[in-house]
Amino acid sequence: MATNFSKELLIKPGHKVQLRKFDPGGTLGWGKGHATKANLAKTLERLNKLQYLLYADHKHALLVVVQGLDAAGKDGTIRHVMSLVNPQGCRVTSFKIPSAEEAAHDFLWRVHKAVPPYGDIGIFNRSHYEDVLVVRVHDMVPKKVWSERYEQINEFEWILQQNNVRIVKLFLHISKDEQKKRFMERIDDPDKRWKISQADFDERKFWDEYVEAYEDALTRCNTKRAPWFIIPADKKWFRNLAVSHIIVETLEEMGLKFPPATIDVKKLKWR
Predicted pLDDT at 262? 83
Would residue 176 count as lying in a domain?
yes
Task: Report, as ranges of residue numbers, the positions in the chain whose pLDDT lies below 50.
Answer: none
Predicted pLDDT at 1? 66
Would residue 261 count as lying in a domain?
no
Would residue 15 count as lying in a domain?
no
Would residue 1 count as lying in a domain?
no
Would residue 167 count as lying in a domain?
yes
Would residue 11 count as lying in a domain?
no
Q: Which amino acid is residue 252, in one-letter code?
A: E
Nearest Cα residue to 128 out of 104, 155, 161: 155
Predicted pLDDT at 195? 85
- C-alpha distances out from residue 191 to 194, 196, 234, 260, Å: 7, 11, 22, 50
Would residue 159 count as lying in a domain?
yes
Q: What number of other Cβ atoms are within 10 A of residue 217's Cβ?
A: 24
Q: Which domain holds residue 194?
A: 29-252
Would residue 121 count as lying in a domain?
yes
Predicted pLDDT at 198? 87
Chain centroid offset of residue 202 CA: 25
3-state class (DSSP) for residue 215: helix
CATH number at residue 102: 3.40.50.300
Q: How many structural domains comprise the chain?
A: 1
